[in-house]
Each structure stands twice: as C-alpha cells, then as structure tokens.
Amino acid sequence: MRTSLTLKQLESFVEVARTVNFREAAENLHVSQPALSRTIRLAEDAIGARLFDRDTSHVSLTPSGHELLPIATRILQDFDGAFSELGQFLDGYRGHITVMTLASVSVALLTPAIAVFRQTVPQVAFTMLEGQDQEIQSAVASGRADFGISMRPRQHEPFIYTHLLDDPFVLLCRDDDVLALRTSVQWSVFEQQPFLPATARSSIRPLTDAAFLGQGLNVSESLAYPSIPAVAAMVRAGLGITAVPRLTLQLLDMQGLKTVALTGPVTTRPIGLITRAGRTLSPAAQAFMREIGAKWREIIN
C-alpha cells in the first residue's frame, strides 16, 4: 500500500471531513469543486482505499477515512507549528546567538545590550564568550561565534569590520600619586616611573608599544600584568603605573586608584563588530548587531 500523500491532499481531505460537503470545502479552500474532487481521488489512489462514501446528497467518512483523519490533522498541525517557528526565526524572534568579545566590552556593552534586546525578543538564546582579539577572530572564522566585538583585524584577514568606537587610553595610578592631581598627562610620564606592561598576547600591548615608539620614549618596564584586574592590584601595591583603555575600567575595583587622561598624542583602541566575509547571519543576529550599534551610541554620548 502506498502512503505518499501530499500536504495539499491532506488539507483537502481534512476540510471535506470537517464540512462533509464538497461544495463548501471547495469554497473554503478557494478551489473549484472538480479540482477538489480530483485531489481527493488522487489521495485515495495514493493510499489504495476510499476515504469518503458519497452520493448526490450525502458525504461520510469510510473506515479508512476515520483512521486517517486524526493522523492527517496531527500532520497538518505539526506542519503549521513548524512553519510558525520558521516564520518567527525569519522575523528574528527565535534563534541562538553566540558572541565573543573582549572582557571589557562584555561588561560595558554586551551585557546591557542583551538585557535590552531580550525585553522585546525573549525567545532568542545567547552564548557569551570572552577572549583576546586573535581568539575572537579565530572563533568568528571557524563559526564558533556568529560575530565578535574586538579590535580592527588586519586588512588581509577574511572579515568584515564595522567600526563602533575609538576607546581612549588613560593613565592608571594610585590616588596618592602626584600624577593623580593632574587633569591630563603626556605619554612621557612613563619615563619617570616603572611602567606595568600588558603581556605579549594582550591586544593592549601592541598599542602601548606603538605609542612609546612613536614618541621615541625610553620606558623602563616593570612586571607584566596578566589581566586588567591584576594590574589594578599591582598599581595599588605601588609596583608601577600603566596605561589602559577607558572601557577596561569597568573591570576594576578603583579603590585607591585614579585615572588621568593621556594626551600628546591621544591613543585609542579601535573597537568594532567582526563578521566572517561570505557568511550570512541569522535574522536575530543581524537585529542584535543593530541593537549593539544603538547601545554603543548611548555609551559614546
């Protein structure tokens, strides 16, 4: 026995069973009565059994029709439910988004952006990952993350970069340091006290190295710090002073510490959205990226 019924045949069968009237069923389905009769006949041929007993004045389900009706109804309901879920996904109301960011960005931007987004789109699930810029780029390139928020990739990398913000560096010192009384300082202050550098794998290290090289500064480096919270403790302990991007202050306990604007020149860390070239993001991910852009403008302002 063949059972390759189409959705159209199942829908037609269920409507005739519901109305027990071919004319009314045809009107409800927006087809002609002869076309509906052909569809039912093809369905009967497919399963090898009559579905309706009918004459000029009466239509009733056969035993085979009674057996098929709950099955057909369930199939149509499952199909409608599945397409409803697909529609919600395509409209950006369902899905799963994985984002990988720098730790400072996760605190300053990603977490509040998710909170706002989920107020209107609660069915979208999130996975938040943190890492250094190279780790973020690797995750986006491999598909482990839908997109990243990090520093600008090198031009030859296979990414699309959408710039969000230039994150300025500030001096971090103890609050009893004479520098704490200043409103701004130049990078040359790091020649006067031990400088605490980031480790070589940090995205911050190349930027501070470039600032010293560009100024022709001879900076005495002290102990390299493994993380932003660690450098706060090191500065507080009197091991030296350092320069950090302003957003990283979100990660710090500032008790006993002070920040001072760094000028001459102003050095910034470019931060933006990173996606892999040629990859289509889900509607939810695209909508969330727009939300991040809006949230970032609030931070800037």
Same fold, 7-90 and 96-163+271-300: no
Asked if the model's pLDDT at residue 299 lies above 60, the reply is: no
Q: Are strands 147-151 and 95-101 parallel, antiparallel or unpaired?
A: parallel
pLDDT attached to residue 290: 87
Asked if the model's pLDDT at residue 3 lies above 70, the reply is: no
Residue 54, classed as helix, strand or coil, is strand
- Quote the DSSP letter at residue 105: H
56: phi then psi, degrees, rounded to nearest 5: -65, -20
Asked if the model's pLDDT at residue 132 lies above 50, the reply is: yes
- The CB density around residue 248, as the number of other CB atoms within 10 Å, is 25
Asked if the model's pLDDT at residue 227 lies above 60, the reply is: yes
Residues contacting residue 25 through CB under 8 Å, at least 6 positions apart: 12, 15, 16, 18, 19, 36
Asked if the model's pLDDT at residue 297 lies above 70, the reply is: no
Confidence at 88, pLDDT banded by 50, 70, 90 = low
Question: Domain spans of the chain?
Answer: 7-90, 96-163+271-300, 165-269
Encode burial over 68-88: b for 16+ CB neighbours within 10 A, e otherwise. bbeebeebeeeeeeeeeeeeb
Tokens found for residue 292: 């991040």
pLDDT attached to residue 221: 86
- The CB density around residue 275, as the number of other CB atoms within 10 Å, is 20
> Tens digit of pLDDT for each residue in 4-58?
788 888 889 899 999 988 989 999 989 999 999 999 999 888 888 899 988 767 8
Mean pLDDT of 98-116: 89
Higher pLDDT pick, 221 / 172? 172
> Tens digit of pLDDT for each residue in 159-214?
999 999 899 999 999 999 999 999 999 999 999 999 999 998 888 999 999 999 99
Confidence at 80, pLDDT banded by 50, 70, 90 = confident
pLDDT attached to residue 1: 46
Cα–Cα distances (Å) from 105 to 30, 47, 204, 245, 259, in that order, read 55, 60, 13, 11, 19
Q: Which CATH architecture has domain 96-163+271-300?
A: 3-Layer(aba) Sandwich (3.40)
Worst-scoring range by mean pLDDT, 190-194, 259-263, 278-282? 278-282
What is the enclosing helix (H) or strand (E) of 260?
strand 257-263
Average pLDDT, the chain: 88
CATH of 165-269, one of 3.80.30.20, 3.40.50.450, 3.40.50.720, 3.40.190.10: 3.40.190.10
- Does 1.10.10.10 match the CATH number of domain 7-90? yes
pTM, two decimal places: 0.69
Residue 273, classed as helix, strand or coil, is strand
Confidence at 241, pLDDT banded by 50, 70, 90 = very high
Among 143, 171, 168, 180, residue whose Cα is nearest residue 158: 143
Residue with tokens 């990243």: 148
Residues contacting residue 29 through CB under 8 Å, at least 6 positions apart: 11, 12, 15, 36
- Quote the DSSP letter at residue 239: S
Tokens found for residue 89: 């996904």
